[in-house]
Amino acid sequence: MKQTVIKDHLQLQKFNTELAACIGYFDGLHLGHQHLINETIRVAKERGLESALITFDPDPWTVINDKSHVNHLTPIKEKVRVAQTLGIDHLITINFTKDTSKLTPLEFIESYLVPLNVRALVAGADFRFGHKGAGDVAFLKQHAHYHFDTIIFELDLTKNKKIGTTMITQALLKGNVEEANQLLGRQYEISGFVIDGQKQGRKIGFPTANLDVVDEYVIPAEGVYAGFVEVNGEVFQSMLSIGHNPTFNHTEHLAIETHILDFDRDIYGELLKQTFVAKLRGQIKFDSVDALITQMKADEAKAREILNATPSEL
């Protein structure tokens, strides 16, 4: 997959390659998005074109509404990683600014889609673009047909339910990672660097790696989860705790700690990739450390049972 970042449309040179493209923010790159991408790949092959996914960074909604620190299912690095698995030829990222948001629909077409040499644009029926969302698929068909064909993709809802990013986000915020994974078509994943922690877990036989999640991921609800973790290219089973350490000493900062099964190495400063397979339980404040240890042994047994029956996707 070839990656192109467009920082300024005024400096955009005409693409030599003719493209069949889909366009959108595509947060999550979930199953609904994947249907659209697969249709784009099909159209590209049928017409002898190369396929492209055109997206934006940062999120246009955050730019238009002057928002910052908004969490997403796939921050840009994660979006790139997932896109590489989908069989698309080109990932084109447009740097979205206030100036970009002020382009009329026709200006957007002429500033981006024409120089990108788009010959077929695959879009959902509800696609909007241009200043204040003034452009839609009807506008594309009327005003862009000199440059490219607009193919309206409508999912057969008798066979597939409509999937949205909000639906997946809500599932994660409720701790329902199984539902989120079904809608994503893969195990939900976050990444972060291992930082120094309070080392309470080590004292009770369950050492944890404390994650500093730098990118703005949607973090699932507080609780204990089973998942897989990748460290230095190796994949291990793990139990992940998200919460405020209610048994030892409640902290204001949300702690994300993973206990890597059958693992005992110093990995401070390393980048970990963590997937979520199932929620084991919610956070509990135990009356004693012994009660916590008993529960964690039960959690580990349950996690092993689930993960032994589940392939890792890392």
Instruction: Examine the pLDDT at 199 and tell me if it is beyond 90.
Output: no
Q: What is the pLDDT averaged over residues 225-253? A: 85
What's the confidence (pLDDT) of residue 174?
Answer: 97
pLDDT tens column, 151-196? 999 865 555 677 899 999 999 999 999 999 999 999 999 999 999 8
Of 283, 77, 264, give the one whose Cα is nearest residue 189: 77
Assigned superfamily of 2-153: HUPs (3.40.50.620)
Fold of 187-308: Elongation Factor Tu (Ef-tu); domain 3 (2.40.30)
What's the confidence (pLDDT) of residue 159?
Answer: 58
Residue extents of the structural domains in the chain: 2-153, 187-308
Helix, strand, coil distribution of the chain in percent, nearest 5? 30, 30, 40
pLDDT tens column, 2-52? 999 999 988 888 899 999 999 999 999 999 999 999 999 999 999 999 999
What pTM value is reported for the model? 0.90
Instruction: Examine the pLDDT at 134 and tell me if it is beyond 70.
Output: yes
Instruction: Examine the pLDDT at 202 and tell me if it is beyond 80.
Output: no
Q: What is the pLDDT averaged over residues 109-123? A: 97
